[in-house]
């Protein structure tokens, strides 16, 4: 059984060597195949509608081809220029192919800095979840034109894992030019055994993984193993599979075991709950009325501003805060959608009044139920 079978929110990452056919330019036929499968999963061709995000490498490689460069430049500004040129063709191709199958697409460029900053993290999360709710497939790439560090082609493996964490994905599928993970390099070791399934984060996996792969994609198997380990931190299991396997995404969704499955040791909700529980020191808290306590603990609702009667501490948007009942007991904790200063202004106000009070509205909830763990019921 595939770890993708029961997944409803899936992040798919495809590498440069596949997207650009080993650097020869965008592989239109391959992108058409992935687009067809993505569209079928989004539209629920098998009776189950899913949410899909595509993390695609290939911008720099496509830019090199368009600029007539035969080898990867070493100067950062030239790499960034290649990314800017190549991104145009990459996004146009995905948009054209997905639209042909009746599914919209959106370009989202991210950097690791976007996901390290609390406010930008939440803004990116809100945008992606809105796109998924609308049935749109976000096509994500690292914003190579503005990053300060040296661009690494294989870095999108890690970016895909960060996106999986960002949106609480159920599964992360890495499509590569290899069928999966072997215990050793099968090209040099005839005794190498294929790894069908293992536990994500197992140190033995890193020892098995080799170095960088092709001259176009610099990621190699090790970055994929490490990315799976990172994704597992939020309870997301990973599959590493050959990107040109016929109907690979559809077959994985139907439960077929393809490639190497790296199973997260904890389920998604358990991992998220543990992460929040691991915060020993919280920057602040909100006190809620008895009615809000009931809605949180028995009805599984989000915390709305109208139920908040007091705010303690000094916290920023995106920080974990305590949610206390009238008796002072902590009933829940979660990610604050508003800072402590904003929360104080919103106390006892309805969600419809947020824009009137603050002059803008980020979210209708003080703490969304997806970003909350209830401690006492």
- Among 27-36, 117-126, 190-199, 227-236, which is the least confidently predicted range? 117-126
User: Strand, helix or coil at 69?
Assistant: coil
Question: 149 pLDDT band (50/70/90 cuts)?
Answer: low
pLDDT category of residue 119 using cuts at 50, 70 and 90: confident
Between 55 and 156, where is the model more confident?
Answer: 55
Work out the average pLDDT over 263-280: 74
Q: Name residue, tokens 């536990």.
A: 199
Average confidence score pLDDT of the chain: 88
Q: What integer pLDDT is reported at residue 128 of this predicted model?
A: 96
Q: Is the pLDDT of residue 129 over 90?
A: yes
Q: Is the pLDDT of residue 215 over 70?
A: no
Which pLDDT tens digit goes with each residue over 19-52? Answer: 988 777 899 999 999 999 999 999 998 999 999 9
DSSP helix/strand/coil, 229: helix
**pLDDT at residue 276 tops 90:** no
Query: Under CATH, which number does the domain 9-268 receive?
Result: 3.40.1160.10
Of 217, 226, 283, 210, nearest to 72 (Cα)? 217
**Regarding predicted confidence, which is higher, 11 or 168?**
11
Q: What residue ranges do the domains of the chain occupy? A: 9-268, 279-374
Scored b (16 or more CB within 10 A) or e, 169-178 reads bbbbbbbbbb
For the cut 90, the answer to whether the pLDDT of residue 209 exceeds it is no
Residue 259, sorted as left (phi over 0), alpha (psi -120 to 50) or beta, turns out to be: left
pLDDT for the residue numbered 361:
87
Number of Cβ within 10 Å of residue 159's Cβ equals: 22
Highest mean pLDDT among 108-112, 207-211, 330-334: 330-334
CA distance 297 to 190: 57
% pLDDT > 70, the chain: 91
Q: Please report, for residues 6, 12, 29, 105, 217, the alpha-carbon distance to residue 172 in angstroms, rounded to integers and kept in the order given.
A: 12, 6, 23, 19, 19
Burial pattern 16-44, b for ≥16 Cβ within 10 A else e, equals: bbbbbbebebbbeebbbbbbbbbbbbbee
pLDDT band at residue 219, thresholds of 50, 70 and 90? low
C-beta of residue 14 within 8 angstroms of C-beta of residue 156 = no
The DSSP letter of residue 226 is H
Q: Grade residue 239 by pLDDT with cuts at 50, 70 and 90.
A: very high
Domain at 279-374, CATH from 1.10.8.60, 3.40.50.300, 2.30.130.10, 2.40.50.140: 2.30.130.10
362, 317 Cβ separation under 8 angstroms: yes
pLDDT at 218: 44
Residue 216: the pLDDT is: 41
pLDDT band at residue 359, thresholds of 50, 70 and 90? very high
């Amino acid at each position: 059984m595939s770890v993708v079978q029961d997944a409803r929110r899936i992040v798919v990452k495809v590498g440069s060597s596949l997207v650009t056919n080993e650097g020869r330019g965008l592989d239109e036929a391959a992108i058409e195949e992935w687009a067809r499968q993505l569209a079928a999963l989004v539209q629920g061709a098998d009776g189950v509608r899913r949410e899909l995000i595509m993390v695609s490498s290939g911008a720099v490689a496509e830019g090199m081809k368009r600029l007539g460069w035969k080898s990867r430049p070493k100067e950062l500004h030239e790499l960034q220029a290649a990314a800017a040129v190549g991104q145009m063709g990459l996004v146009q191709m995905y948009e054209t192919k997905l639209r042909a199958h009746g599914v919209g697409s959106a370009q989202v460029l991210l950097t690791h800095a976007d996901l390290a900053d609390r406010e930008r993290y939440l803004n990116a999360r809100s945008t992606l979840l809105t796109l998924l709710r609308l049935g749109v497939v976000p096509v994500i790439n690292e914003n190579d034109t503005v990053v300060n560090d040296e661009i690494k082609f294989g870095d999108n493996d890690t970016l895909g894992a960060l996106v999986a964490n960002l949106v609480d994905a159920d599964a992360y599928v890495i499509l590569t030019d290899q069928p999966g993970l072997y215990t050793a390099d099968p090209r040099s070791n005839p005794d190498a055994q294929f790894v069908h399934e293992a536990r994500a984060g197992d140190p033995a996996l890193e020892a098995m993984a080799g170095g960088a792969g092709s001259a176009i994609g610099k990621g190699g198997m090790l970055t994929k193993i490490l990315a799976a380990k990172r994704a597992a931190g939020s309870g997301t299991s990973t599959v590493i599979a050959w990107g040109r396997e016929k109907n690979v995404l559809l077959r994985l969704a139907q439960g077929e075991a393809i490639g190497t499955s790296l199973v997260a040791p904890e389920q998604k909700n358990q991992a998220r709950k543990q992460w929040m529980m691991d915060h020993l020191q919280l920057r602040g808290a909100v006190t809620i009325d008895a009615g809000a306590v009931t809605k949180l603990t028995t009805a599984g609702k989000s915390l709305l501003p109208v139920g908040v009667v007091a705010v303690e501490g000094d916290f920023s948007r995106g920080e974990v805060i305590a949610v206390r009942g009238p008796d002072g007991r902590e009933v829940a904790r979660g990610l604050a959608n508003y800072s402590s200063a904003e929360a104080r202004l919103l106390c006892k106000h309805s969600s419809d009044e947020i824009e009137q009070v603050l002059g803008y509205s980020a979210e209708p909830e003080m703490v969304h139920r997806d970003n909350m763990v209830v401690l006492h019921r």
